[in-house]
A = this chain, B = another copy of it.
């Protein structure tokens, strides 16, 4: 059977048990080329599973995120959203705040990106978030 085999291997490789719910979750995320909240995923999955806890969805999505399988989308409403991106390698995303669609970007510098995005998605850039996280010299020493 189709992609389930791939998901199966994926979970195995991560050392996670292959449960029907995990497979379905991956399937839902991959089919949707948009970012979704845990609750939205939960609602979709409940069609197939009469008993499915929202915490299970939260737990699994977080798990997959920290293994790099799916990526978090930041949103100004501070809710969690996740996106399954099939593209590998370092790249960034253009995300539509309206329809939630996600587009892969090939360049990384924001100035250049704006032009690229206009061409690529024929869209409008309303804002961008560029924040570099790390440890300053002092803290890096202490830890």
For chain A, the bracket of interface size reads 35 or more
Q: Does A103 contact B (CB under 8 A)?
A: yes
Quick one: which of B93, B99, B137 contacts A132, CB cutoff 8 A?
B93
CB-nearest residue of chain B relative to A138? B99
Measured CA separation A31–B95 after assembly (Å)? 36
Q: Does A52 contact B (CB under 8 A)?
A: no
A113 partner residues in chain B, CB cutoff 8 A:
132
Q: Say yes or no: B109 contacts A108, CB within 8 Å.
A: yes
Q: Say yes or no: A133 contacts B126, CB within 8 Å.
A: yes
Q: Say yes or no: A117 contacts B135, CB within 8 Å.
A: no
Distance in Å: Cβ of A31 to nearest Cβ of chain B = 19
If A74-B74, A108-B111, A109-B108 touch, whether A134 touches B138 (CB-CB below 8 Å) is no
